[in-house]
Each structure stands twice: as C-alpha cells, then as structure tokens.
Amino acid sequence: MLSKIILAGFGGQGIIVAGKLLASAAMKLGKNVTHFPSYGAEMRGGTCNCSVVISDKQISSPIINEPDVAIVLNKPSKDKYEPKCKTNGMLILNKSLIKDETKRTDLKVGYIDASEIAERIGNSKVANMVILGAFAKITSLVNINSLIDSLKDVFPTMPDKLLDLNIKALQEGFNLAYVI
C-alpha cells in the first residue's frame, strides 16, 4: 500500500498542520509516513500545500507528482490539483468554497461543506479538521480515532475546550461527507 496525498488551500486554513495530523494518525496505525510542506514565502491568503505519503514499506520519495488523493479547500487549489491527480484517483472538495463541477470523469469525488460546518459548530478555523474527518470516512486510510488520538501530539499545549472543538469538527466531517 502506497498512498500519496496532497492537501491544498489558502494560507491560514491550517493546511500544513492538517497534513501533520494526518501523517501522525497514519504513523499511529503503524505506517511509514512523510510530511513535506511548501515553505518559505507563504502568507495568509496566499496558496499553500503539503504532501503526505503513507506506506507499508519504506518511503523512497517524499515528493508527489501525481497524487492518489487531493484534498482541496479552495478553488485555486482545485484548479491546480484536479489535472494532476492520478488516473482513477480521488478529489475531496470543500464544497463551501468550491462551486465548480469537476472536469475529469475518471476521478472519484468526495464532498464536504467544510467551511460551513466549521462555522456552525463554532469556529471557521476548524474547516481543516472537518475535511480530514471526511477524508477518514471516504478513504479509510486512517480512522477517526487515530486522528483524534493524534491531536494531543500535534497540539501539545491546546486547551481542552479547543481540543473538544477539533474533535467535534473531525466527527462532523466524518458523519457528513458524501461521494458522488
């Protein structure tokens, strides 16, 4: 098993840290993982992405050319990564911010109203967690419990109240994701 996943969105949407949580959760399940962020001149509002590779074997290359799964939180990221996805790959979309139809017909497409759900449960900043919950539901590459268990490793100083909100976001994403 070798899965190459790209997470992409606006700077400030928590893309890098969501990738770290995903990698951490997969690691907890005994997988080999790499996490590589776009780094340097990133800024709030600009685009940013990270690459997560999950494998049963040693990971040779942390670099992703054709992702198996692209998790995209905004339209520019969908436009960039939809064409790059592997044949018969998967796209998981933040439906709140991406209204366009997908052009490719070979891709399996998962939907979640990540930003709207995040706002409804208390804070738009947890849209990244909502879409990760959706990812867990749609792909089964990680399970929701391993994501929840990893929160404390990735956010060691997070107060309980915010931890609870993040857990809720993961669960809502898991429960409300759908595939067409």
Partner 1 sequence: MEKVQLLKGNEALAEAAVRAGCRYYFGYPITPQNEIPAYMSKRLPEVGGVFIQAESETASINMVYGACSCGARAMTSSSSPGISLMQEGLSYLAGADLPAVVINVMRGGPGLGNISPSQADYLQSVKGGGHGDYNLIVLAPYSVQEIVDLTIKCFDLAFKYRNPVMLIADGMLGQMSEPVVLPKMIDVKDDLDWVVGNGNHAIIHSLYLNPEDMLEIHNAKLQKKYEAIKNECIEFEKYLCDDATSIFVSYGTPARVCKAAIDELREKGIKVGLFRPISLWPFPEKELNELASQVANHSGKVIVVEMAKNQLEQDVKLAVNGKCEIVALNKLGGAIFNETEIIDFVLKDRK
Give the binding site for partner 1 (CB under 8 A): 20, 23-24, 27, 32-37, 39-41, 59-63, 65, 153
Q: Which two tokens stand for residue 126?
A: 């947890």
Instruction: State which residue, 14 or 110, has the beta carbon closest to partner 1.
Output: 14
Pick 20 or 95: Cβ nearer partner 1: 20
| Distance, CA of 138 to CA of 108 (rounded, Å) | 10
- Whose CA is closest to 18, among 121, 132, 106? 132
**End-to-end Cα, the chain, rounded Å:** 24
By C-beta, is 17 or 176 nearer to partner 1?
A: 17
**Closer to partner 1 by Cβ: residue 22 or 170:** 22
Q: How far is the CB of 75 from partner 1 (least distance, A)?
A: 26
Three-state SS letters, 105-139: CCCEEEEECHHHHHHHHCCHHHHHHHHHHHHHHHH
- Cα atoms in the Cβ-side hemisphere of radius 13 Å centred on 30: 2
d(CA 51, CA 23): 10
Residue 34 beta carbon to partner 1: minimum distance, rounded to whole angstroms: 5
Cβ of residue 178: shortest distance to partner 1, in angstroms? 30
* Least spacing, CB of residue 53 vs partner 1, in Å: 10
CB of 6 to partner 1, least distance (A): 14
Q: Which is nearer to partner 1, 33 or 126 (CB)?
A: 33
